[in-house]
Structure formats: C-alpha cells, structure tokens
Amino acid sequence: MSNKVYIGIIAVLAALCIYLGFQIKNANEKIVYIDREKNTIMDERDVLAVELEQMKMGYDTLQTDNAEMAAKIAEQQEDIANLIRKAKNKDYDISKLKAEAETLRNIMKGYIKQIDSLQQANDRLFAEKEAESMRANSAENRSKELESDLSVTKEMVNKGSILSTGEFVNSGINVRSSGKEVETDRANKTKMIKSCFTVRKNAIVKAGNKKLYLRIIGPDGNVLKGKESGSVTIDGKAENISAARDVDYQNQDTDVCVYYTAQNELKKGSYKIYVYESNSLIGQTDLNLK
C-alpha cells in the first residue's frame, strides 16, 4: 500500500476522532446542563417545602372565636399539609406547587386582615360597653333617692314568685295488722312512702290554699301510680302524679308531710321524689329502699 493511501486513512481517522470528540463534548455539556436543571428544581422544592412549613406555622398562630372562620383555617392547614407532601414528591409539577402555595399565602393574608378587623370591632364594642357602664354608674350616683325602691325591687326578684322547699325527711312506712305505722327501709315491707318537708317563707307568693303534688320515680324509671288523679306539666307535656295534698299557706315556713300509698310491691333501689306546685318544681329529694 502506498504512502498516499496511508496518509488518506490517517486523515480520515483523524477527522473521525475530531468529530467523535466534538460529539462527546456536546453530550457532556448537555449532561452538565441537565444536572444543573435537576439540582435547581430540587433546590426549588426544598425552598418551597421550607416556605410551606413556615406558612403552616403562620396558620397555626391564627386565633379566632368565629366558628366559621376557624373551620376554614383548619381546611387551609390541611391543604398546606397536602402541599408539603407534594413538595417531597419529585414527580409533582413544581410550577403547580408554586401556584397553589401562592394561593394559600394570599388566603392567609386575607384571614389575617379579617381577624384583625374582628379584633378591632371587639375592642370597639368593649370600649363602648365600658363607656355605657361608666354612664350607668354615673346615673346611679345621680339617682340615690331611688336606691330604696331599687333595693326593694332586687329583693323581690331574688325571692322569686314561686314556692320552694327544704329540710326533707323521707321514709318507708309499714302498716301492721293493728293499724300502727312503723318506719322501715325494706322495700318488701313498705306499704307507703312518707315525704316530709318545709315549704319556705315567701312574701311574694299569694297566701291561701296550695295544691302540692308528689311525683315519685321508681328504680325502673317509671312513675309510681297512686290513687290521686291529676297531672303536672313538664316541658309542655302532662305527666302523671303519685300523690297530692292541699296546704294552707300563709307566707310562713310551713311543715308538710305527703303520703303515697303503694299500689304494688315496691322494688329495691333509689326512689326520686319531686314536689310540684302550680306546675313548678319546688323541691326534690330521694329515698333508698333495701
């Protein structure tokens, strides 16, 4: 083979090497560029994740007594938690993450303004209330001649317009064949339930005959049926009574005993005793039978 041929081959190989070297250089540059882009994206995700964590802390500090706003804030906190999870997912579009994060950031700014406005409104209301209180106190000071009437009015309100009872003494009664009544705490021996109490003094209540009703609830939760007919209204509903008694009330402490005659054998357990007058509950007590 002649020297010219060798020179030609060498020239071709040299050209091929130069071409391949150029291609390798371009490929390396592309790899470096891709790596930089990847690192940039990963850096952005890390930065965005930190920003989201900070935003979450910001939402955690938002405090409001408004139930509707508190519920919305809780929803946004859940959305931020979801975004944080997405930020850690390298396959999720970073541009979407940024857009969603910016939306939540703007929403938080709106909440801050609303909460601040509500706080300012509350401060104004408090100041107005304080001012009204000062004016009321001033008016009271200027109207000392009415203190006596106001004192009487307050006393009447405190006493109330309904009766009240106290000092309960309850017992089971066994009636022997001789007719003698003896106290007992045995359910199977109890023929009557005796409830004694004091109807308290009340100057407001009109004096005269008062009908007192006894409503006894047994251990099974049922009202004990009695011979007395009648009912009391509880929460707008007529309820049966167990016993009743008329009392001559003259606005003084009045001692009263009401008897309930058992229609069936009584069960062991706790008996709840409620006393009513004019459909108002004026006292309650209990009795335990063994």
Q: What's the pLDDT tens digit per position in 37-83?
A: 444 445 666 677 777 777 777 666 666 666 777 677 677 777 777 77
| pLDDT given for residue 38 in this prediction | 43
State yes or no: pLDDT of 232 exceeds 90: no
- 137 or 188, higher pLDDT: 188
183 or 77, greater pLDDT? 183
C-alpha distance from residue 203 to each of 15, 78, 79, 121, 246 (Å): 124, 62, 64, 46, 19
Cβ–Cβ under 8 Å, residues 185 and 290: yes
More confident site: 215 or 150? 215
Q: In whole angstroms, give the CA distance from residue 259 to residue 264.
A: 15
Q: Where in the chain is the domain with CATH 2.60.40.10?
A: 160-289
- List Cβ neighbours of 246 (8 Å cut-off, separation of 6 or more): 209, 210, 211, 212
Could you give the angle at which helices 3-61 and 67-87 cross, rounded to 10 degrees? 160
Q: Label residue 23 by pLDDT band (50, 70, 90).
A: low
Q: Phi, psi (5° rounding) for residue 265? A: -65, 130
Query: 214 pLDDT exceeds 70?
Result: yes
User: According to the model, what pLDDT value does residue 239 have?
Assistant: 86
CATH class of 160-289: mainly beta
Return mean pLDDT, the chain: 76
Q: What's the whole-model pTM score? A: 0.47
Q: Which residues pair with 199 in a beta bridge?
A: 165, 254
